[in-house]
Structure 1
Amino acid sequence: MYREIQVYDFLPVLLEQLKFSESILDIGSGTGTLLERYEAALVIGLDIHRPYLLHRKYKAPHIIPLHADAGHIDKLFLPGTFSAVTLIDSLEHFTMAEGMELLRKAEIIASNRVVVFTPRGFFPQEGTDHFHLQGENYQRHRSGWVIRLRCLKGFIMPRIRPSGKRSGQTTSRWMLYSPAKQSSLRTREGGERMNLQSKVSVVIPFYNCPYVHLAVESVLAQTYPDIELIVVDDGSTLHTEKLTPFMDKIVYIRKTNGGTASALNRGIQAASGAYFAWLSADDLFHPDKIERQMITLTQTGTSFNHTAYYYINEHGERVSEVVRVLLTGRTEMIETMMKGCPVNGSSVLLNMDIFRKVGLFNERFLYTQDYDLWLRILPHYEWSYIGEPLLDYRVHKEMGSVIHNEAQFREIEVVQARHNGVLAKLLRKERGQ
């Protein structure tokens, strides 16, 4: 669950973790030299040493100094008050017991994450007054932290003091830690590596769909906190006004008409998340869809997940029982995928690294680009499945699969002919033949 990675500049790493935070509490802010770099609408710099706050380096009105004891933050703030809580070069100034209790309280008042930057391991610091403001006692190091630390919502970035250098000098090695948001990528070949990012990029391809605003709202209502929503307008001439209220909450890309696959690929290329989800403009996510899928990926060690769903009509009314894929194992999944595609594209969540392995959607397929991609993924990656419905799949007379039904069947035959040789070989391997 832990990984050290190489970075060469601390600040971009920090700012990346805070990029979507609307409010930040910075504990042990000192004079606050970093606070104006935070992009949040509200920043509170808390410090127990009043002279630091009186000589603060920031002047922006959205950054508020607070003279208080960090140990009392649970009494000062309600649970989930801030998007993020940061402890930058401050955790080591508490004893281990105090620090663990402080982290516990920070996790409660942070709705999204806790970010910590601290020396890796203990090294002494006594009698230091970095700011010449009689803060020697507050600069003393009282604890050392290692990657065994468990912080439920956080990133831990230990600063490493290498041998042969004076304390205070640092290397360019950092460890990022976020067990609540990590998942591992495991391939069929047995390789495994940790993906430390957690952002999910949801791509909505949009072409003249009157339901697009409802799809957008269903993404914005997700319980998972770290989502980037990209709407790719594939040359629409109708219903574009339905996106106007959301322009400050989405990434909007307009392109000439090229089909669903081209719109999805454009969104993937623009995405900054570590995970990808596709939502058709006429479908709806259930509020906990992304959160449930991220948990499942983490628990199963898989990198591709899909879910059960409901059919709904043009009025948003459910017109079916739960639609499930009732398969007993990987062998049955391969057999089923050779005959047809039971995977609803809008139900899928996958690790972006998959695209680097198998490529993007094939833009030559206008109606079966999803089926083709799933068949390319299947030989290389384990899949997981959630049998509870987390999607509403809209059926209406204007949907592409109704209008282009015959062309879709012809494409299915082409896709199957393209992949069945590889899948037949995979099936024999799974059966031990």
Structure 2
Amino acid sequence: MRPSVSIITPSYNSSSFILQTLRSVTTQTFNNWEVIIVDDCSSDSSAEVIQQYASQDPRIKFIQLEKNSGASIARNTAIEVATGRFIAFLDSDDLWHPEKLEKQISFMLENEVAFSYTAYEKIDEKGVSFDIVNTPTKISYKQLLKTNVIGCLTAMYDVEKLGKVYMPVNTKREDFATWLAILKKIDYAYGMPEVLARYRVYASQSSAKKTKMAKENWRLYRDLEQLSIFKSAYYFTHYAVRGVLRTKFPTLARALGVLD
């Protein structure tokens, strides 16, 4: 029997994209899955849209939080009730290629991998692809500290090997912190070079948000990972330089392998 996978999907005001996201799951060539959608008190029609679609497929499970609590708690609520051997993540505006689950699970089983990720493409609000994000074939804890190269929509871990790993609720870099926590348990996470997911980027994303994320990155080094100020400065410098190269000089970044 094929192993099962639980797909963790937090939702907040996602009515514009959630049906596209769910269809990218229901059209997977691998069909032994459950998707657990946790709505974080949306103020739009998300809940109604999701419930209507879920009524057509018992593998789609819907939970509503009683109060707005943030993505970490929404994801953790889903992880708590997940029954799959594998845990995968897919936000309510992102998409998967049809063979994503089948190829990634086969890769993990054949190579006895506990934690994996894949390359992915960036799309705009209309779904038009404009960039490819390549990833290294493997990465360690210390390497990942330099910059988070694991896209949340591509990450998958094996509960049999790692147990359930929950996201911290005291940081906005919850996915980054989770991958670091996993890499404290194992030597490497392993990447697949094939593009198997589509990450949606919004025009409204601003430099102010990037500044806030930079501050969160520093706090992650100091407070969550409890690195010394010197180590924090070392890793933060890598993070900042790579960020500038990716944003301002993408051609040079590709030549240097910074986008990989």
In the other structure, the counterpart of 1:391 is: 197
Q: Among residues 49, 53, 57, which one is paired with 1:242 in the alignment?
A: 49
In the other structure, the counterpart of 1:258 is: 69
Structure 1 residues 324, 420: CA separation in 2 closer, same or farther (over 3 Å shift)?
Answer: farther
Aligned equivalents of 2:13, 2:112: Cα separation in 1: 38
CA offsets 1:217-274 (integer angstroms, 9 cap, x no match): 1111111120001111011011313324312221000002111100000000111111
CA offsets 1:142-196 (integer angstroms, 9 cap, x no match): xxxxxxxxxxxx4xxxxxxxxxxxxxxxxxxxxxxxxxx3xxxxxxxxxxxxxxx
In the other structure, the counterpart of 1:377 is: 182
In the other structure, the counterpart of 1:340 is: 147
Structure 1 residues 286, 202: CA separation in 2 closer, same or farther (over 3 Å shift)?
Answer: same
CA offsets 1:56-108 (integer angstroms, 9 cap, x no match): xxxxxxxxxxxxxxxxxxxxxxxxxxxxxxxxxxxxxxxxxxxxxxxxxxxxx
Q: Contact conserved, 1:310 with 1:318, CA < 8 A, in 2?
A: yes
Structure 1 counterpart of 2:213, one-letter code:
Q
Structure 1 counterpart of 2:63, one-letter code:
I
Question: Aligned pair 1:204/2:20, yes or no?
Answer: no
Structure 1 residues 277, 403: CA separation in 2 closer, same or farther (over 3 Å shift)?
Answer: farther
Aligned equivalents of 2:226, 2:185: Cα separation in 1: 15
In the other structure, the counterpart of 1:414 is: 219
Q: Report which of the two has the higher share of helix.
A: 2
5+ unaligned residues in a row in structure 1: which ranges? Answer: 1-153, 155-180, 182-197, 425-433
Structure 1 counterpart of 2:52, one-letter code:
P
5+ unaligned residues in a row in structure 2: which ranges? Answer: 232-260
Aligned equivalents of 1:278, 1:207: Cα separation in 2: 15
Q: Contact conserved, 1:303 with 1:350, CA < 8 A, in 2?
A: yes
Secondary structure at 1:235's aligned position in 2?
A: coil
Q: Contact conserved, 1:205 with 1:231, CA < 8 A, in 2?
A: yes
Mapping of 1:72-221 within 5 angstroms? 154=1, 181=2, 198-209=3-14, 210-221=16-27
Aligned equivalents of 2:13, 2:207: Cα separation in 1: 16
Aligned residues between the structures: 221
Structure 2 counterpart of 1:343, one-letter code:
I
Shift of 1:402: 7.0
In the other structure, the counterpart of 1:298 is: 109
Structure 2 counterpart of 1:225, one-letter code:
N
Aligned equivalents of 2:49, 2:101: Cα separation in 1: 24
TM-score, normalised via structure 2 length: 0.78
Higher RCO structure (Cα 8 Å, ≥6 apart): 2
Q: Contact conserved, 1:300 with 1:384, CA < 8 A, in 2?
A: no
In the other structure, the counterpart of 1:225 is: 31
Structure 2 counterpart of 1:370, one-letter code:
D
Shift of 1:339: 1.7
TM-score, normalised via structure 1 length: 0.48
Aligned equivalents of 1:295, 1:391: Cα separation in 2: 16
Shift of 1:419: 2.2
Q: Among residues 150, 157, 166, which one is paired with 1:350 in the alignment?
A: 157
Q: Contact conserved, 2:141 with 2:184, CA < 8 A, in 1?
A: no
Q: Among residues 126, 150, 155, which one is paired with 1:315 in the alignment?
A: 126
Shift of 1:383: 1.8
CA offsets 1:99-125 (integer angstroms, 9 cap, x no match): xxxxxxxxxxxxxxxxxxxxxxxxxxx
Shift of 1:354: 6.0
Structure 1 residues 238, 405: CA separation in 2 closer, same or farther (over 3 Å shift)?
Answer: farther
Aligned equivalents of 1:245, 1:205: Cα separation in 2: 17
User: Larger C-alpha radius of gyration, 1 or 2?
Assistant: 1
Shift of 1:334: 3.9
Shift of 1:310: 0.3
Aligned equivalents of 2:169, 2:124: Cα separation in 1: 28
Aligned equivalents of 1:247, 1:326: Cα separation in 2: 36
Structure 1 counterpart of 2:13, one-letter code:
N
Structure 2 counterpart of 1:243, one-letter code:
I
